[in-house]
Structure 1
Amino acid sequence: MNKILIRNAMILAVDAAHGTQPFAGDILVDNGLIAAIGPNLIPPDGARIIDGRDRLVMPGLINAHTHSSETFFRGRYEGMPLEIWLLYAYPLLMNDPIGKRLLYLRSLLLAMESLRNGVTTLCDDFFDPPAHDLDRLGTVFRAYEDAGIRANVSSAAMNIHTLDALPFAREVTPAELQNLLDFGPPMTTDAYVDFCKSAFDSLHGRAGRVNFMIAPSAPQRCTPDLMMACMELAVAKRVPFHTHVLETRTQAITGHELHGKSLIAYMKDLGLLRRNTTIAHSVWVSDEDMSLMGDAGVSVAHNAISNQKLGAGIAPVRRLLDLGVTLGLGTDGVSSNDTARIFDVMRVAGLIHAVSGPDYEKWVTADEVLRMATIGGAKTAMLEHVTGSLEVGKSADLVILNLRSYPFMPFNDAAKHLVYSENGSSIEKVMVAGRIVMEEGRLTTVDEAAVFAELAELVPAWLQEHAELERRNSVFVPVMAEIHRRASLAELPLYRYQGDFPSKSV
């Protein structure tokens, strides 16, 4: 692999020595790794020299939680809480799985948009009903391998009937609608573990950067034996146990309805709070929940935008940080966010937590948000030894931005510019594992025009089929609306904290 020397740049390493304070210097990339960082480095023979004057070099951004299965639903939905939105984005009544070519293009499009906007690593919990298929999983791996992005990939696992994973569902769902939801025998734990082991054997580590992770959908959607087997395998393979917990108030009610305790306490009882545990959302958590999470070294993927679009609430990020929980940033799926840009999530995360309380000294800072988007996100993916900061020996996953641009003019503080001003427009180059994958406004790994042309040709017919699926599933809207209504009125035995203080006892 070619050697690259970035000379005379402003370097934002986000490492232990410098944090988010930039310094001047050079970066030498050799064989995909950062070989040296410092002043006046001597270029090896044959090295490509990149002029870093008026340029900021920073770690590639980490998307700690997304769903490639939503990529074709950009700009399609609004004004729905999660439980209703799921009927359309993840229908109960399903058609045949999306065709393999569209499955590939759907994943490729997400990777392309991510790389263009400085995301060098994504964690994709894609949905591919009705069964887990190694060949289809391999199609997603191939898309990420071809795009040149780093990724953790899994297809969400669940084996509890939808109506048994929601409070009030059986009592408010008419019998004729319940009869429509015959999904056949649930997936067994042994079958899913066998699938995961096959994925590790045949796909994990493809191209040195596309990995398999374990993704049980949520504790209310999976049997205890499935969840515990998933954790055992995740620990053995040193990969994330990636799951959704307490995204909505309905899910907060679910834990107490089904188990007599919060879903976090339930996970603690099952031994599911570990260093490997990465929780998407963590909005409706109590102080007790957060203490358990911090003590266990759990990570949270904070989806600041999607939580607002779906009306889920605001995660208590300051309290999570103070209690020792690692935070990363996720876009969630493109349907509940409408972009794959982590820069957008950074800006929202930097702004929205100021409403959490009057103690402005505890508001989330730009430095903290930048760490979430880089090294924090790497930790949620269990890749902090590989990426997330610019350090000798780590993979050369980095972004080069032009400081002679509107978001940085005039220049004051790097972290604040990146969080509050930058939107990706200043990006000149993106590198993953030492390979330049985006340069001068063009992806180097993919023919974007050809991909767009193929999408324009194939996706409209698929979306027409999906529109019919939406119509069929709309019969469940009154049911989900009633569940949502009842959950909003039900009492919770614990304080629900918004930021740094409880909003009320509910």
Structure 2
Amino acid sequence: MATVILDAEVITMDAHTGSTPVPRSIRIEDGVITEIARQVSVSDADTVLNGQGRLVCPGFVNAHTHSWEYLAKGRYDNLPLELWMLYSYPILAQRPLPPELVGLRSRLFAVESVKSGVTTLVDDVLETPGQDFDQLDAVFDAYDEVGVRANISGHVINRPFIETLPYVADWLPEDIVREVRGQAVPTAEEYLAFSTEAFRRYAGRAGGRLRYMVAPSGPQRCTDDLLAGATELAVRHGAECHVHVLETKTQAVTGREFYGTTLVEHMRRIGALSPNTTLAHGVWTTDSDIDTLAEFEVCVSHNPVSNLKLGSGIAPWRRYHDAGVTLGLGSDGCSSSDTPRLHDVIKAAALLHKVTEPDPASWPTVEEVLRAATSGGARTAQLQADVGTLEAGKQADLLIYDLETLAFTPRNRAELQLVYSENGSSLRQVLVAGRVVVDEGRVITVDEDALLAQVRVLLPGIQREQDRVERRNAVFHETFDRMYRECAAQDVGVHRWSGEPVKP
């Protein structure tokens, strides 16, 4: 039995019509779009959806996020990244999260994501003090149940955290330094073995809808052999290698202090760049870095809301486009942006870069922004053959909006209103692989009310544990603040708090 959407306004994001809505009908069989045209075949056995008064577009790809942070949503403010990480990614006193809570956290995150139009998650999952297969299984099981598409990582840091930042190891008390350095960290061999088993374990999961990816946390947080090995492993498996690079000015200083060059150039030297590599953030890249990324066909996931909240800076949107670097859009985690909703990110991306250049010709176009949210995000995730556009042969991951709402009234240019006026309130159905997972604002694959009731019961204990861990890690705060201010005062050759290059 097939599903047919008749007579809708459709944004295909393909090479022919792009972001311009065109009248189309869509036929879906076995989760795949088999026809998309003005008229398609219909039989009596088909499920027919009336598309009149509806806008259909590809499902959004959240190209960088952390479900790990969901339980810390709305907990922190006015902390730059390096200080915020003290509490969201604690160095000391963290206890392993039981798989049952990992599963609940992941279901809540997936539900909020799909309800806002995200059909694909690039979920950079970190568990502290370390990740095991019981925890990773819980994420895969949760996403399988909700019905979302996802790349799910084994995120790894294999250097003592105080050695991933400049200056702090020399400034902290000796007993704290000894305690941190005494913590076990995985070797490159251990992580690559874990990832090799993960690729085997999750191959074909949910019909290929769920995939494992490697995620070295960052070049300054991982040893060179792990970075190079993860890159090779990703290429071998046709998977994404997801790495945080140059998110903050501190990281720009770190590259110079640790390697005498930029972090991108260091990755090039050690063989850690490939077309399978996606850099999360890429705010403080130099012009030379951007040329290198284009040369190696590396993608960048742009996270404007998180970068704004953490004061990290403004990514060079137009420079990336001019160089031919593919951009996706990410929400980042729910503790750094406080939402997994990509509508917020799409509007922020469309608006933010209008204030970084005086020439309107350089400002983001709606076509560029929607492409980053769909086909660009799919490319960053190594899923471009499956999703990101509405075309025959692609997976039927799509969104159906009601055009008879205030957001689209008066109806002028629906693609502009999708970016600037819509916040997800007009979204009526969400399909992933042809399956309806959201209908009239409700996720129909899981019991959302039961999940909310469950987390309400557990929340007091969760928050007591968060309070305990925060008190323990506050010992680093003064030193990390000093380090942040020292780095902020330095000249790194780019000025990305305004988005403009440093003037000679």
Bin for the TM-score computed over the shorter chain: over 0.9
Aligned position for 1:403 = 403
Aligned position for 2:13 = 14
Alpha carbons of 1:309 and 1:497: their partners in 2 closer, same or farther (altered >3 Å)?
closer
DSSP-derived class of the 2:214 partner = coil
Look up the equivalent residue of 1:368 and give its one-letter code.
E
DSSP-derived class of the 1:180 partner = helix
1:429 counterpart = 2:432: no
Query: Does structure 2 conserve the Cα–Cα contact (< 8 Å) formed by 1:119 and 1:341?
Result: yes
Cα shift readout 1:255-286 (whole Å, capped 9, x = no counterpart): 00000000011011112221111000000111
Look up the equivalent residue of 1:28 and give its one-letter code.
R
Aligned position for 1:371 = 371
- Unaligned 5+ segments in structure 1 are none
Residues in 1 aligned to 2:80 and 2:126: alpha-carbon distance in whole angstroms? 19
Cα shift readout 1:226-278 (whole Å, capped 9, x = no counterpart): 11110110000011110000000000000000000000110111122211110
Aligned position for 1:125 = 124
Aligned position for 1:192 = 191
Cα shift readout 1:149-207 (whole Å, capped 9, x = no counterpart): 00000131121111211111122212132133144343111111111111111113310
Alignment of 1:459-474 (within 5 A): 459-474=459-474
- Superposed displacement of residue 131, structure 1: 2.7
Query: Does structure 1 conserve the Cα–Cα contact (< 8 Å) formed by 2:326 and 2:376?
Result: yes
Query: Does structure 2 conserve the Cα–Cα contact (< 8 Å) formed by 1:259 and 1:266?
Result: yes
Alpha carbons of 1:97 and 1:339: their partners in 2 closer, same or farther (altered >3 Å)?
same
Aligned position for 2:452 = 452
Aligned position for 1:181 = 180
Aligned position for 2:335 = 335
Aligned position for 2:270 = 270
Residues in 1 aligned to 2:460 and 2:420: alpha-carbon distance in whole angstroms? 36
- Unaligned 5+ segments in structure 2 are none
Query: Does structure 2 conserve the Cα–Cα contact (< 8 Å) formed by 1:357 and 1:499?
Result: no
Look up the equivalent residue of 1:443 and give its one-letter code.
V
Query: Does structure 1 conserve the Cα–Cα contact (< 8 Å) formed by 2:240 and 2:276?
Result: yes
Alpha carbons of 1:291 and 1:341: their partners in 2 closer, same or farther (altered >3 Å)?
same
Query: Does structure 2 conserve the Cα–Cα contact (< 8 Å) formed by 1:430 and 1:437?
Result: yes
Aligned position for 2:285 = 285
- Superposed displacement of residue 467, structure 1: 0.8
Residues in 2 aligned to 1:390 and 1:29: alpha-carbon distance in whole angstroms? 11
Cα shift readout 1:394-444 (whole Å, capped 9, x = no counterpart): 000000000001111111223211111110000000000010000022111
Residues in 1 aligned to 2:268 and 2:359: alpha-carbon distance in whole angstroms? 31
- Superposed displacement of residue 499, structure 1: 7.5
- Superposed displacement of residue 109, structure 1: 0.7
Residues in 1 aligned to 2:444 and 2:240: alpha-carbon distance in whole angstroms? 30
Query: Does structure 2 conserve the Cα–Cα contact (< 8 Å) formed by 1:33 and 1:394?
Result: yes
Residues in 2 aligned to 1:84 and 1:333: alpha-carbon distance in whole angstroms? 15
Aligned position for 1:70 = 69
Aligned position for 2:249 = 249
Alpha carbons of 1:156 and 1:270: their partners in 2 closer, same or farther (altered >3 Å)?
same
Residues in 1 aligned to 2:498 and 2:236: alpha-carbon distance in whole angstroms? 35
Look up the equivalent residue of 1:417 and give its one-letter code.
Q
Aligned position for 1:295 = 295
Look up the equivalent residue of 1:164 and give its one-letter code.
E
Aligned position for 1:352 = 352
Alpha carbons of 1:498 and 1:169: their partners in 2 closer, same or farther (altered >3 Å)?
closer
Look up the equivalent residue of 2:138 and give its one-letter code.
T
Aligned position for 2:154 = 155
Look up the equivalent residue of 1:163 and give its one-letter code.
I
Residues in 1 aligned to 2:497 and 2:130: alpha-carbon distance in whole angstroms? 38
Aligned position for 1:361 = 361
- Superposed displacement of residue 504, structure 1: 4.3
Alignment of 1:482-497 (within 5 A): 482-492=482-492, 494-496=493-495
Residues in 2 aligned to 1:151 and 1:410: alpha-carbon distance in whole angstroms? 36
**RMSD after superposition:** 1.3
Alpha carbons of 1:247 and 1:500: their partners in 2 closer, same or farther (altered >3 Å)?
closer
Query: Does structure 2 conserve the Cα–Cα contact (< 8 Å) formed by 1:158 and 1:221?
Result: yes
Look up the equivalent residue of 1:158 and give its one-letter code.
I
Alignment of 1:9-88 (within 5 A): 9-88=8-87
Alpha carbons of 1:217 and 1:395: their partners in 2 closer, same or farther (altered >3 Å)?
same
- Superposed displacement of residue 112, structure 1: 0.2
Aligned position for 2:168 = 169
Aligned position for 1:224 = 224
Query: Does structure 1 conserve the Cα–Cα contact (< 8 Å) formed by 2:248 and 2:284?
Result: yes
Residues in 1 aligned to 2:499 and 2:134: alpha-carbon distance in whole angstroms? 46
Look up the equivalent residue of 2:84 and give its one-letter code.
W
DSSP-derived class of the 1:400 partner = strand
Look up the equivalent residue of 1:95 and give its one-letter code.
Q
Look up the equivalent residue of 1:48 and give its one-letter code.
T
DSSP-derived class of the 1:213 partner = strand
Residues in 2 aligned to 1:69 and 1:405: alpha-carbon distance in whole angstroms? 35
DSSP-derived class of the 2:219 partner = coil
- Superposed displacement of residue 498, structure 1: 6.6
Overall identity of the aligned pairs, in % = 44
Look up the equivalent residue of 2:13 and give its one-letter code.
V
- Superposed displacement of residue 497, structure 1: 5.5
Look up the equivalent residue of 2:136 and give its one-letter code.
L
Aligned position for 1:214 = 214
Residues in 1 aligned to 2:104 and 2:450: alpha-carbon distance in whole angstroms? 11
Residues in 2 aligned to 1:230 and 1:251: alpha-carbon distance in whole angstroms? 21
Look up the equivalent residue of 2:253 and give its one-letter code.
I
- Superposed displacement of residue 90, structure 1: 0.5
Query: Does structure 2 conserve the Cα–Cα contact (< 8 Å) formed by 1:172 and 1:482?
Result: no
Cα shift readout 1:19-77 (whole Å, capped 9, x = no counterpart): 11111121001000001011232213411010000000100000000001100111111
Residues in 2 aligned to 1:177 and 1:189: alpha-carbon distance in whole angstroms? 25
Query: Does structure 1 conserve the Cα–Cα contact (< 8 Å) formed by 2:96 and 2:130?
Result: no
Aligned position for 2:237 = 237
Look up the equivalent residue of 1:126 and give its one-letter code.
V
Aligned position for 1:476 = 476
Residues in 2 aligned to 1:359 and 1:213: alpha-carbon distance in whole angstroms? 39
DSSP-derived class of the 1:239 partner = coil
Larger deviation: 316-325 or 128-137? 128-137
1:102 counterpart = 2:119: no
Aligned position for 1:141 = 140
**TM-score (normalizing by structure 2):** 0.98
Residues in 1 aligned to 2:338 and 2:496: alpha-carbon distance in whole angstroms? 28
**TM-score (normalizing by structure 1):** 0.97
Residues in 2 aligned to 1:183 and 1:225: alpha-carbon distance in whole angstroms? 21
Query: Does structure 2 conserve the Cα–Cα contact (< 8 Å) formed by 1:356 and 1:498?
Result: no
- Superposed displacement of residue 11, structure 1: 0.8
DSSP-derived class of the 2:33 partner = strand
Residues in 2 aligned to 1:114 and 1:495: alpha-carbon distance in whole angstroms? 34
- Superposed displacement of residue 365, structure 1: 1.4
Look up the equivalent residue of 2:470 and give its one-letter code.
E
Look up the equivalent residue of 2:205 and give its one-letter code.
R
Aligned position for 2:307 = 307
Residues in 1 aligned to 2:309 and 2:203: alpha-carbon distance in whole angstroms? 34
Residues in 2 aligned to 1:177 and 1:360: alpha-carbon distance in whole angstroms? 51
Look up the equivalent residue of 2:175 and give its one-letter code.
E
Residues in 1 aligned to 2:173 and 2:486: alpha-carbon distance in whole angstroms? 16
Look up the equivalent residue of 1:103 and give its one-letter code.
V
Look up the equivalent residue of 2:251 and give its one-letter code.
Q
Query: Does structure 2 conserve the Cα–Cα contact (< 8 Å) formed by 1:205 and 1:212?
Result: no
